[in-house]
Amino acid sequence: MKKWGFLLLSCLGLTFAYMGPLSEPEVKIQNFDQFQNGIAEGADIQEIEISEDQIYQGDLLLVNSEYPVHQDSIRSDIVNLSASNELAQGYVLLGSDIYLSEDIAHAFSEMVSAAKKDALQHFAITSGFRDFDEQSVLYQDMGSDYALPAGYSEHNLGLSLDVGSTQMKMANAPEGKWIEKNAWKYGFILRYPENKKDITGIEYEPWHIRYVGFPHSAIMKSKNFVLEEYMEYLKEEKNISANVNGKQYEISYYPVTKSTTIQVPADLRYEISGNNVDGVIVTVFPDKHT
């Protein structure tokens, strides 16, 4: 039996986590030696091989003007929400051809359902997945402050969507304020917040949300990180143990060459996501495999 204590992701499914009335996550973070400490100390481990193409797959991909979308990065479960009445529940679609990852659509529906309990029910999706041609036209129309060239936009992944209110501009709408406070509970982040243009390169967009998964959304919310900052933070720390609202998660960064072998728990659930740069992030959850 080997000891371990660390890790992260294999993209076997999305993680939704409703946290009740909390508006801010309770996060405590410690560094740890992945071979000595951690929630699974003494547990069985298994070795798995990570190939280079896994750098470009998963929910934590960093896409911006420096790191473009790879063909393998595009979600395979893209659906037309306008043709999927069972998915488009609790919000309206401002357009006849709005596409999105089916999994992300389910996560968004769960979030909108929770917002309805707070008497917010005027959500709309104005844009979701875009192919490169559509992104190119938008970039020409909007310019570099509010759009990115084709292949350099998160909308080309299927993980991002633009959310509006049918009542007023999102910057002033109660729906916008609710999302900014609560999206982290469902694995979403506000991708381009205020006062972060020097890092993201994009002006404040209160309508643009991105799925990264839980607990990453909670950690980013707690530390006021945008995705660029969070990826750099994980790369510097390498291994962190995050207690999020009383549950312990182990998160580790691994640089990946052509072929890299890593250790993961045999009995705990984990996910693996590339960072779209140079490695993968492994997240170990506190619950057992199901």
User: Exactly one of 205, 229, 236, 250 is catalytic; which is it?
Assistant: 205
How far is it, in rounded angstroms, from Cα 176 to Cα 90? Answer: 16
Tokens read off for 193: 């917040």
State the Cα–Cα distance between residues 145 and 27, nearest whole angstrom.
33
Is 26 annotated as catalytic? no
Cα→Cα distances 42→30, 108, 267, Å: 19, 38, 11
29: its two tokens: 């973070």
Can you read off the two tokens belonging to residue 183? 């999206």
CA angle 255/259/265 to nearest 5° reads: 70
Question: Distance between CA atoms of 79 and 76, rounded to whole angstroms?
Answer: 9
Active site residue ranges: 205
